Amino acid sequence: MFDLPDVMEGLNVTLKTIFQAHPLGDVAFENAIREFSVFKARQGAYGREASLSMIGKLPNYQWFQQFGSGTPYLQWAAVRILAMVASSSGAERHFSKLSWMKGKLRNRLANDKVPVYIACLV
């Protein structure tokens, strides 16, 4: 899969985009690209029996949280990408809670307090 040019181009574009939010920006992106070769070659923790046996038993983002510490920049990006919700139901649930909290009857709630209350409901 990683040998396909389109897949690698998509990965590069995705990583470049997500690393715009990283404090080190382009430096972190370049480090993650270097670290990707470690992941691809299954070196370090990526090749250990413990990590390989947990593939499919943990959600992907948790797998990277647990076994990706040897490649911190790749781990940072992978956790963010793999934890994204693949459907709109999660976002719709949050908007539903937000409309309940910040509706016409509750419009006195200050905007800066809404995220705090939403986090409590989730």
How confident is the model over 75-110, as pLDDT tens digits?
999 998 888 777 777 667 766 665 655 555 455 556
pTM comes to 0.66
Mean pLDDT of the chain: 81
Spell out a b/e string for 99-120, using b for 16 or more CB atoms within 10 Å of the CB, else e: eeebeeeeeeeeeeeeeeebee
The candidate with the shortest Cα–Cα distance to 58, out of 76, 42, 73, 79, is: 79
- Give the whole-angstrom CA distance, residue 23 versus residue 95: 29
